[in-house]
Structure formats: structure tokens, C-alpha cells
């Protein structure tokens, strides 16, 4: 992974981030803005009004042709066949072992045309996995279109109003996890009511050549609601408050979707897919652990990698943790033995050599009030 910014890839908004004085850091091989003014203010702006995120580092695969659905059914844990045209679905891709290659958003653009949005940090592994499992017999084409697409997320309770000002499409008709292909900000794009913040809003996919025009259009449309750009730092605290998994932290090649409590997107009873047998066997034998959300009861902040102790025994590590701006409390995620994975269970997080009491709480940590 590139640690030096000069080795990092740049999204088409990179120059804008620099002009705005963002703190740009290496993330998954990309030079990305971690904050523009401050994570806390940016986080609260999204919770209270609306913010604009450059998420162009995400990857986009196009799966098209008569066999596209069958192919994706094999790759994805969720039942892609239930997707209607214009609908999006969350899923994971698993190895034969049932462990997670990546988490995905699958957009059905036509009966036989899909766009799969994947994590930047997993693009290489994902593409290898898709192509390894693809052959001419699948009767569909795979295209890695990641270099062509730019992606902006407009998130917050005013997100719909902002994007509505940019388009003639009636956005009130597009429900959560639905999308439409149309013109917004004068640019052809996919307008999807999806996101990674727990707020309402849209994600826009469009050709990278239109990046600056689209950026300017969103900021102009959002000016009356005081929109501002939001960095990856706030994106992380926002998603953590929703217990949305972050690949590489909460899920990886050693975790199964059932352990990560992603059983709701894992249709091992309804269909076959790569990893299905291992997952069915895990159900049979008992899922050993579960990803839980906790609150720290003592002072401090639990961070990724801190040891987790239960009844005097180390049982794992914190996978994600932060002091969250909305709640003002130190929260986190970790895997717990299944028998102890229930709300109210007390345990300890080791912070700098000291064990600090923590308690499992119901998630999401944050629920939007509208």
C-alpha cells in the first residue's frame, strides 16, 4: 500500500481538495481528504444538514449479458434475483471458506445489466476474484470501469432537496435503495438513494470528465442549506455510529458474514453461492462469535486493535472505535464469543495497559430522527 502521497492515485477532485486546504492522506492507495475543517464539525453538518463526499476511489464493475444474473448469484451472498431494475442491494462476496472477499453494492440497471460498487482497498482482490470465477460459459461480460467513474455522495436530511434542485427527475419517487439514470447538474449519471452515513441522500455515479462541473453544481444547489465538503474522517465516524462494516477493520478474509451479523444479506437457505457450503456448515456447528457494538464506561477512547477481555481472558480486539461526535461517547465494534454477545454484557477493553469497563449495547448507535 502506498504510504507516500506521491505514490497514491488521485480522484478527479484531488485538485479541488488541495485548493480547499483539505488534509490529504493516503487511504487504500489513494490520496484522499481526511478532513477539510475538522472531523467533528463535518460529522455534525451531515447529521444536521447536508454534506458532500468525494467517494470516487470506490470501484465499479459492470456485469452485463444474458448470464449476468446467474454469474452474480454465484459471487454474491444476497439473492440478486429479487432485485428489480432500478434497485440496489447490499451483499458480500465470499471465498469457498465462507470468509469475506469484500462487501458490495449491486445496482440492477436492466434485466441483464448490473453495476457492482466495491471498496477501493479491495479493488485488486475483487477484480481477481470476479475474473477467476468467470468464463466464457457464463455468457456475460465483466468490465472494470473504475477508472471511468467518478462518484459523489450527497448525504444528510437535506440531501434530497439538494439533488432535486439539480435535476428534473422527481426524486420523491425514488425510495431508499432505488436509483434512476438521468441528468443531474447537466451530467448523465446514476442517481442512487444509497449512502454510508445513516442519513437520507444520494450517491451520484458519472463520468470522471464531468467531475468539476458536478462538484460545482452540488455546492451551488446546496448553498442554501450550507452544504460543505466532508472528509473520510467524518465518513468513518458516521458509518461507525450506524454499525456499517468497514472492510479491513470489521470484516476481512478471516470473518464470515454470519460472524459479522450480515446474515440478513446471506441467503444460504435460498440459493447457492461461493462459500455457501462453509456458511451452512457454520450454522450447523454454531457461529462461534458475533460482531457487537459497545460503549466504553470508563474514560478514554477504544481504537482498532485494542485487546478485548471477557472474564479475565482475551477474546479478541476492537475492530473499530472512536469518540463519536453525535453522541459524545466512546463507542466501538468487536467480535465477542456468541454466548456473551448480548446487550448488557459487560467486558473490558485494554487501553494503554489498563482495562477499562465496556458494555454491549444495541446497534445502530445512532438513529436518524426523521
Partner 1 sequence: MSNVPDSFRYTEDHEWLSVEGDVVTVGITDHAQDQLGDIVYLGDFPEVGDGVEQGDVVGVVESVKASSDIFSPVTGEVVEVNEILDDTPELANSDPYDGAWLFKVRMGAPSELDDLLSPADYKALLEA
CB of 310 to partner 1, least distance (A): 23
Q: Report the residue number, 34 or 104, with the smaller CB distance to partner 1.
A: 34
From the number of C-beta atoms within 10 Å of its C-beta (0-12, 13-18, 19+), residue 241 rates as buried
Nearest distance, CB of residue 47 and partner 1, angstroms: 14
Q: Which of residues 302-341 bind partner 1 (CB under 8 A)?
A: 303, 322-323, 325, 330
174 in helix, strand or coil?
coil
CA distance linking residue 101 with residue 125, whole number of Å: 7
Which residue, 171 or 296, has its beta carbon nearer to partner 1? 296
Residue (231 or 275) nearer to partner 1, CB: 231
Rounded to a whole number of angstroms, the minimum distance from the CB of residue 44 to partner 1 is: 10
In sign, the C-alpha dihedral spanning 265, 268, 271, 275 is: positive
Using the minimum distance from each CB to partner 1, give the nearer residue, 43 or 193: 43
Which residue, 303 or 338, is less far from partner 1 as judged by CB? 303
Backbone phi and psi for residue 319, each to the nearest 5 degrees, phi listed first:
-95, -35
Comparing CB distances to partner 1, the nearer of 23 and 109 is: 23
CB of 230 to partner 1, least distance (A): 13
Q: How far apart are CA 330 and CA 87, in angstroms?
A: 35
Q: Is 3 in the site for partner 1 (CB under 8 A)?
A: no
Q: Quote the CA–CA distance of 78 and 93 in Å, as a whole number.
A: 9
In sequence order, which residues have a C-beta less than 8 Å from that of residue 73 and are 6 or more positions away? 79, 80, 81, 271, 272, 273
Number of residues that bind partner 1 (CB under 8 A): 21
Q: How far is the CB of 233 from partner 1 (least distance, A)?
A: 5
CB of 77 to partner 1, least distance (A): 31
CA–centroid distance for 276 within its chain: 23
Taking only Cα atoms into account, the Rg of the chain, rounded to an integer number of angstroms, comes to 20
Question: What does the alpha-carbon distance between residue 314 and residue 312 come to, in Å, rounded to a whole number?
Answer: 7
Q: What angle do CA 322, 311, 329 make, to 5 degrees?
A: 20
61: which 3 cell numbers?
464493475
In the numeric block, the cell 475483487 is attached to 126
Nearer to partner 1, 62 or 238 (CB): 238
> Which position among 301, 308, 336, 360 is part of the footprint of partner 1 (CB under 8 A)?
301
Residue 39 Cβ vs partner 1, minimum distance, rounded to whole Å: 4
What binding mask, one character per residue, do residues 341-360 give for partner 1 by CB under 8 A, x or -? -----------x-x------
Q: Is 237 helix (H, G, I), strand (E, B) or coil?
A: helix
- 167-170: list long-range contacts, CB under 8 Å, 24+ apart: 167/191
CB contact at 8 A, 225 and 158: yes
Cβ 56 vs Cβ 211: under 8 Å: yes
C-beta of 27 vs 129, nearer to partner 1: 27
Site for partner 1 in 205-244 (CB under 8 A): 233, 236-237
**Contacts with partner 1, 28-57, as mask; x by CB under 8 A:** ------xx--xxxx-x--------------
Q: How far apart are CA 15 and CA 297, in angstroms?
A: 43
**Shortest spacing between CB 30 and partner 1, in angstroms:** 17
Binding mask 4-33 for partner 1 (x = CB under 8 A): -------------------x----------
Task: Compare residues 73 and 249 and give the one whose CB is closer to partner 1.
Answer: 249
Interacting residues toward partner 1 by CB under 8 A: 23, 34-35, 38-41, 43, 233, 236-237, 299-301, 303, 322-323, 325, 330, 352, 354
Amino acid at each position: 500500500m502506498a504510504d507516500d502521497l506521491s505514490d497514491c492515485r488521485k480522484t478527479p477532485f484531488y485538485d479541488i481538495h488541495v485548493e480547499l486546504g483539505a488534509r490529504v492522506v493516503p487511504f487504500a492507495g489513494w490520496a484522499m481528504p481526511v478532513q477539510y475543517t475538522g472531523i467533528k464539525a463535518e460529522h455534525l453538518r451531515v447529521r444536521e444538514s447536508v454534506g458532500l463526499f468525494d467517494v470516487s476511489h470506490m470501484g465499479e464493475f459492470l456485469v452485463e449479458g444474458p448470464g449476468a444474473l446467474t454469474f452474480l448469484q454465484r459471487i454474491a451472498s444476497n439473492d440478486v434475483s429479487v432485485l428489480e431494475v432500478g434497485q440496489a442491494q447490499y451483499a458480500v462476496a465470499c471465498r469457498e471458506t465462507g470468509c469475506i472477499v469484500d462487501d458490495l453494492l449491486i445496482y440492477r440497471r436492466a434485466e441483464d445489466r448490473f453495476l457492482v460498487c466495491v471498496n477501493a482497498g479491495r479493488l485488486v482482490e475483487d477484480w481477481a476474484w470476479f475474473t477467476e470465477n468467470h468464463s466464457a460459459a457464463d455468457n456475460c461480460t465483466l468490465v472494470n470501469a473504475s477508472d471511468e467513474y467518478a462518484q459523489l455522495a450527497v448525504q444528510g436530511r437535506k440531501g434530497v432537496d439538494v439533488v432535486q434542485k439539480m435535476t428534473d427527475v422527481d426524486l420523491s419517487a425514488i425510495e431508499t435503495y432505488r436509483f434512476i439514470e438521468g441528468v443531474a447538474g447537466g451530467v448523465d449519471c446514476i442517481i442512487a438513494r444509497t449512502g454510508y452515513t445513516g442519513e437520507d441522500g444520494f450517491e451520484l455515479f458519472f463520468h470522471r470528465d464531468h467531475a468539476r462541473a458536478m462538484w460545482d453544481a452540488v455546492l451551488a444547489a446546496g448553498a442554501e442549506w450550507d452544504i460543505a465538503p466532508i472528509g473520510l474522517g467524518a465518513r468513518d465516524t458516521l458509518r461507525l455510529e450506524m454499525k456499517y462494516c468497514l472492510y479491513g477493520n470489521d470484516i476481512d478474509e478471516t470473518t464470515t458474514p454470519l460472524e459479522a451479523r450480515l446474515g440478513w444479506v446471506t441467503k444460504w437457505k435460498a440459493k447457492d453461492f461461493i462459500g455457501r457450503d462453509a456458511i451452512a456448515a457454520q450454522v450447523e456447528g454454531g457461529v462461534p462469535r458475533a460482531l457487537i457494538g459497545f460503549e466504553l464506561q470508563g474514560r478514554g477512547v477504544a481504537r482498532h486493535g485494542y485487546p478485548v477481555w471477557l472474564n479475565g481472558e482475551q477474546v479478541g480486539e476492537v475492530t473499530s472505535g472512536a469518540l463519536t461526535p453525535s453522541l459524545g461517547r466512546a463507542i466501538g465494534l468487536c467480535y465477542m464469543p456468541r454466548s456473551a454477545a448480548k446487550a448488557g454484557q459487560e467486558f473490558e477493553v485494554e487501553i494503554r495497559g489498563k482495562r477499562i469497563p465496556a458494555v454491549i449495547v444495541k446497534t445502530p448507535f445512532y438513529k436518524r430522527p426523521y
